[in-house]
Amino acid sequence: MVTWFRTGRASAACVLVCAALLLFQQVGYFAEWGSPEFRTLVTDVTYVPLALAFTVLAVRVAVSKRQEPRTRRAWRVITIAFVCQLAAHCAWAVQSHILLTTAYPSTADYCFLLFSPFMFAGLLMLPGQHRRRRDRQKLALDALIVGAGGFIAIWYLLLGPILNAPGLTPLQRTFTAALPIGDLLLVLAVSTAMLRRHQPEVPAPIRLLAGAIALTVTADVSYSWIQLNGGFTGGSWPDLLWLAGCFLLVLAADQQYRRPRHPRPRRRDRNAVFLLPYAASVAAYVLLAVQSSHLPINPYGGMILGSAVLTLLVMARQSHALRDNREMAVTDGLTGLANRILVTERLDMLAGQPVRPGRHSAVLLIDLDRFKPINDTFGHEAGDAVLVAAADAMRRVIRDGDLAGRLGGDEFAVLLQSLPDREAAGSIAARLLEELRQPVIFGEHVLMVEASIGVAIRDDPDASGETLLQQADTALYAAKRAGRGRFEYYSDVMDTKARESELRRAVAQDELVVYFQPAVALATGELRAVEALVRWNHPVRGLLGPGEFIELAEETGAVVPLGAWVLRAACREAAGWRTGIPGAGPLRLAVNLSPKQVAQADLVTTVEAILTETGFPPDRLTLEITESVILQPDPLTISRLQALRDLGIQLAVDDFGTGYSALSYLRRLPVTMLKIDRSFVTGIADDPEARSVCEAVVHLGEAFKMNVVAEGIETADQATALIDMGCVIGQGFFFHRPLPPDEARALVKQQFAALT
């Protein structure tokens, strides 16, 4: 039976059958189908399949590996309580319709009584959040307030009358009193389980158990009252409550099995749950007022009324104190905006909402540019003034219902809801940028601040709040890389981890291809060298230039395997030219080395292994490094570069002049070539100042006895000017664009075939 109930369809069918049975009984009761005896029989028989269903479903939960161990242990005890219910309903049906006995208390009554202690223990065993001692004490007080309110009602309705009821044997009096006491324990247990919940919301199974117990307790109180006033007979109105409670037990067991082990929070009902102690107090005072209405106003009426009003005022005062404490806990003390706690809560709520057409949500992550220099130069008070001004700017821009919060330092978040379209988030981001550009007056200083913003639009209904914040952070980083003072929308292309994985996979699956840009003698146009330039033949986005992925490779470290692949592929191709094209032996090959490659301890070993594998001679290879490598190089870097020179490999400084060049290190490093960056070549034909700077770089290379290669030559006038300066070799679109391997091979063959 349990195995059959483990399937989703069987479980759903069980719930539907139980609902149909309950509906049939309720309709028959109110429509007065058949005789009273028939309706009683139908009612008593309906209990059995309902009890069997919730018992079997509870067993399914108790043995399921999907549940946490603590949850399984609690539901094992709850299952025992359900078994007691099943036994009670079966015994009641037998004794009422087969044995025709009216003994009180009967076997069914004892089984009903056993339900309470087992259910009490099971509810208290349900897992809850780990709490501090003070929180546990507060929880106990809240539960006791609920229990005290229930005790007042039960004492008035049952316990008091039971103690004074005539004609009861000691056993009957004890049993009749034990039933409401057991119900009081259930009230305590279920209120504790709800107040102690470990999720932002009370889980559905606990809510269903609470509803079932509320109906059961109400029916039990009614049953005991009827027993005291003439005797209970089956098929009367308390059965309607008991049956409805049984159906809720069926739903609770089914929902617990379906509940994920680590569910995503959907909503918060903290206020609704924590109203339980106040509701119990109000109910107790209402009952006290009703029962004391016959007492004289002086002195009892005034005293009771004053006590009730005083208690209500204390409750209202406590409610305000709790609200103040809550605001202090979720408010940033400096700016008055929401703090990280509240932002995280609202993010979870945002992630739990359905995605609807025409209603968009967005997360904006804001970081103040140049905040650290202000803090360091003018002090923390100036920094605080900037943060307060930024918070005021956000308040002026965001709409009612949106949330602005400070996550820490100079980082802020804005949560936007109910946007008509994606562009609305960009409009708000642009207005924020404009407001945040307003200068901040601090004493005699005018502090200028800008901001960068990352915008994440919620499109994926399964995306968590943390995921949305990460996406906004990725977009923020893209905005900073694009020049700061701007905003960027998040897109999958920005996902660094995914792109890194994709890039490494491209290296492993040979999706990369090497292009070759020729370098020629400026005076004659003869081919002297080729520079290897990597391209990514992306299966979806097509052929990508290095600007699309090299920076990412540098950031993530994927440039190390990528660089090794490029060196191997270029050397293999160039070695093939040397073998198959007579006269191509003097041609040089230039390959770029990233700073991360230079920092690798096995750099020299890797280069040697590739040259040995491909058969390309080291004296025809030029490795190009960037200026960041030659800026204050450490001894290990110098030793690696010297080891490469000892192999016969030439070393070149690429894009010379664009960084922070340290001329003293050019003398210490084994560099043999300078490559003038294209920014120095542009304008040399018609701008005397640009020409003077470029000429100075050429002469600098000559002074250090280095070969000089000019990059980015696009016109004949630029080539002529470089020749006049004494530059011998150059490359650029004026001569050749980067060529795919087949075209590069054809060019090499054309050039060197003419020389043989």
At 264-322, the pLDDT tens digits run 544 444 445 556 566 656 666 565 665 555 555 555 555 555 566 656 666 665 665 55
Q: How many CA atoms lie within 13 A of 464 on its CB side?
A: 8
Helices of type H across 158-301: 160-164, 170-195, 204-228, 238-258, 270-273, 276-291
Over range 400-428, report the average pLDDT.
89
Q: How many CA atoms lie within 13 A of 683 on its CB side?
A: 11
Which sign does the torsion angle of CA 172, 174, 175, 181 carry?
positive
The whole-angstrom distance between residue 613's C-alpha and the CA centroid of its chain comes to 47
382-408 confidence digits (pLDDT tens): 888 999 999 999 999 988 888 999 998
Average pLDDT of the chain, as a whole number: 81
Q: Please name the amino acid found at residue 596.
A: K
**Least confident interval from 91-95, 190-194, 286-290, 471-475:** 286-290
CA separation for the pair 608, 571 (Å, rounded):
12
Over range 709-717, report the average pLDDT.
91
CA separation for the pair 163, 160 (Å, rounded):
5
CA separation for the pair 680, 668 (Å, rounded):
25
Q: Coil, helix or strand for 355?
A: coil
Q: What is the pLDDT of residue 752?
A: 80
**Least confident interval from 164-173, 307-316, 360-369, 570-579:** 307-316
- Let me know: does 608 contact 647? Beta carbons within 8 Å: yes
DSSP state of 102: -
Over range 592-613, report the average pLDDT.
92
Count the Cβ atoms, other than its own, within 10 Å of residue 283: 15
Count the Cβ atoms, other than its own, within 10 Å of residue 731: 25
- Residues 710, 714, 716, 720, Cα dihedral to 10°: -20
Region label for 132, one of left (φ > 0), alpha (ψ between -120 and 50) or beta (otherwise): beta
CA separation for the pair 371, 366 (Å, rounded):
12
Cα distances (Å, whole numbers) of residue 747 to 192, 518, 543, 581: 83, 9, 22, 11
User: 234 CB contacts (<8 Å, ≥6 apart)?
Assistant: 40, 43, 44, 92, 96
Over range 475-504, report the average pLDDT.
78
Beta bridge partners of 487: 453
CA separation for the pair 137, 260 (Å, rounded):
30
Report residue 25 as tokens: 């009984």
CA separation for the pair 471, 300 (Å, rounded):
66
Residue 565 pLDDT greater than 90, yes or no: yes
Percent of the chain with pLDDT over 70: 79
User: 390 CB contacts (<8 Å, ≥6 apart)?
Assistant: 335, 366, 368, 410, 412, 436, 449, 451
The whole-angstrom distance between residue 3's C-alpha and the CA centroid of its chain comes to 36
Phi, psi of 460 (to 5 degrees): -90, 115
**Helix and strand totals (H; E) in the chain:** 30, 16
Which sign does the torsion angle of CA 431, 434, 437, 443 carry?
negative
* CATH code for the part of the protein at 504-751: 3.20.20.450
Say what angle helices 238-258 and 36-63 make with each other, to 10 degrees: 20
Name the more confident of 90 and 680. 90
- Let me know: does 729 contact 521? Beta carbons within 8 Å: yes
Q: What is the pLDDT of residue 675?
A: 86
- Let me know: does 405 contact 395? Beta carbons within 8 Å: no
What is the DSSP annotation of 418-482? Answer: EESSHHHHHHHHHHHHHHHTS-EEETTEEE--EEEEEEEE---TT--HHHHHHHHHHHHHHHHHT
Nearest to 375 by CA among 410, 323, 419, 404: 410
Name the more confident of 284 and 449. 449
Residue 744 pLDDT greater than 90, yes or no: yes
- Let me know: does 529 contact 590? Beta carbons within 8 Å: yes
Residue 529 pLDDT greater than 90, yes or no: yes
Percent of the chain with pLDDT over 90: 23
- Let me know: does 641 contact 670? Beta carbons within 8 Å: yes
Highest mean pLDDT among 89-98, 185-194, 571-580: 571-580
Name the more confident of 127 and 1. 127
The whole-angstrom distance between residue 30's C-alpha and the CA centroid of its chain comes to 51
Which residue's entry shows tokens 């492993």?
508
Q: What is the pLDDT of residue 1?
A: 46
Q: What is the pLDDT of residue 736?
A: 92
Highest mean pLDDT among 162-171, 421-430, 488-497, 747-756: 421-430
- Let me know: does 449 contact 374? Beta carbons within 8 Å: yes
**Right CATH number for 2-260+270-291 from 1.20.1070, 1.10.357, 2.60.40, 2.30.30?**
1.20.1070
CA separation for the pair 423, 433 (Å, rounded):
15
Could you state, in order of their start, the residue ranges of all structural domains in the chain?
Answer: 2-260+270-291, 340-494, 504-751
- Let me know: does 19 contact 250? Beta carbons within 8 Å: no
Over range 319-327, report the average pLDDT.
60
pLDDT band at residue 657 under the 50/70/90 scheme: low
Q: What is the pLDDT of residue 133?
A: 65
Q: What is the pLDDT of residue 172?
A: 79
Beta bridge partners of 181: none
DSSP state of 536: E
CA separation for the pair 462, 499 (Å, rounded):
21
DSSP state of 485: S
5-30 confidence digits (pLDDT tens): 455 577 788 889 888 888 888 888 77
Beta bridge partners of 404: 414
**Right CATH number for 340-494 from 3.30.1330.120, 1.10.3720.10, 3.30.930.10, 3.30.70.270?**
3.30.70.270
CA separation for the pair 47, 92 (Å, rounded):
10
Q: What is the pLDDT of residue 448?
A: 83
- Let me know: does 243 contact 224? Beta carbons within 8 Å: no
